[in-house]
Amino acid sequence: MREVPAMSSLFDAMRAASRHDQTPPWDVRADRLRRLRRLVQANHEAIAAAISADFTNRPRQETALLEVFPSMAGIDDALRHGKRWMRVRRASTGLWFKPGRSRLMPQPLGVVGIVVPWNYPLYLTIGPLTGALAAGNRAMVKLSEYTPRFSALFAQLVQAAFAPDEVAVINGDAEVAAAFSTLPFDHLLFTGSTNVGHHVMRAAAANLTPVTLELGGKSPAIIGPHADFERAVERILVGKLLNAGQTCIAPDYVLVQADQRDRFAEAARRCVSRLYPDIARNPDYTSIISPRHFDRLESMIAAATAAGAQAVPLTDATPDAAARRLPPVLLTDVPDNVMAMQEEIFGPVLPVVTYRSIEDAIGFVNARPRPLALYVFDKSGDVVDRVMRQTVAGGVTVNDTLFHIAQDDLPFGGVGPSGMGVYHGKAGFETFSKLKPIFHQAGLNGAGLLKPPYGKRFESMLKLLLR
């Protein structure tokens, strides 16, 4: 594990630099953000090519839409608002402590660690990095070993754009990632599976490092009784099949009324034929990231059918292990105890679950761990409000999928097993800041009365305070 000593030395240098320049001014932070933006904008074609090669195939348009655009939009948002975010803020002062005054001073935490998954390697690097830099921090980024071409390219780009004590990229295998998580960061953000999240949190706990965990789970899509059915099917399939389902907030199962199940399957097949004609050779359809992940998805389908589920192919294409292309498939009549209903799918496999009333659908969602995302389709505000009030999820999009993650003014994060903490926009700035509380005592104040010896005057003051 030859990278580890270098990694530790790099961390020490970064921490020393952060302590020397504890609260950098806005012009320093803005310069770092602008350099980050130029890095993305000037190299987005090369980045897309590297990501596509890592996947075997991922269309450049998908990378541009899902990674490059939101990365640049998030940086632009920070550049527009960051100076205001870092201002000292007034805070109210209790009546008994006036004419003293209270303030909150945002300050950088110091050195932030960011652990990035393979599925959206650019965006899930740039998003948290933007928040960390806007807040005035230094940052170390651990990229995934499943995207070696992107990881190597991004490391080179960062090395050219930033000083080693500003931003640094660490590459390596799972052993390096484990060592990375043990560094005494001032904050550690991890994006990945819930299982690995447990290990990251345990490693961080040894240093009392605060963590933000962006995990996963089974995100439901509910088609309500008054939904625009055909449109709902299309938007669910679009959200599911972008990146071949390898998206943490992709719909993981769909809830439809019992008498609409077959209609859903028929509409889904028509939709796929429009979105991805000749899917076996269609360059717009993304490959599965690795043979291990491909085999897992095939095993998931096989286990479900062996337990009595029906696999409903949405195309005539067959799985291609060599190209790691897995055509989309629905699963119906799925037993609740099979892998497809117990684990996050992370691929183009979509279980269809039926319900009789919207209360049944809500109950089905609530009987399971709280999801990272929830989607509800219905024209009735009452139905939507009922689902919103009676369910808890990391984030929600109504009458579409995925779009809540692209809103810079909406915090992004999970709840319960799907994660803890939030970032994006101002929420990200505050996650990577210490809002230091400051009380300014007034020259004329009553504090001198609240001290020993505790005589009659003190008792009189105490009666006033406790009435």
Give CA–CA dist 245/239, Å, rounded: 8
- CA dist 133 and 36 (Å) reads 10
- Would you give the DSSP letter of residue 99? T
Q: Is 271 annotated in the active site?
A: no
Q: Are 83 and 139 in contact (CB under 8 A)?
A: no
Catalytic (active site) residue 248:
yes
One DSSP character per residue, 312-367 reads EESSS---BTTTTB---EEEES--TTSHHHHS---SSEEEEEEESSHHHHHHHHHT
Q: From the DSSP assignment, how many helices (H) and strands (E) are in the chain?
A: 16, 16
Active-site residue (options: 67, 248, 271, 344)? 248
- Measure CA 127 to chain center: 9
CA-based nearest residue to 419, from 215, 250, 198, 128: 215
Encoded amino acid at 326, one letter: L
Which DSSP letter does residue 404 get? G
Q: Which of 214, 234, 271, 344 is catalytic?
A: 214
Tokens 């659908």 correspond to 361
Kind plus residue range of the DSSP H or E element containing 105: strand 101-108
Among the listed residues 115, 112, 167, 200, the one whose alpha carbon sits nearest the alpha carbon of residue 433: 112
State the virtual CA torsion across 337, 339, 340, 341 in degrees, nearest 10: 40
The catalytic residue positions are 214, 248
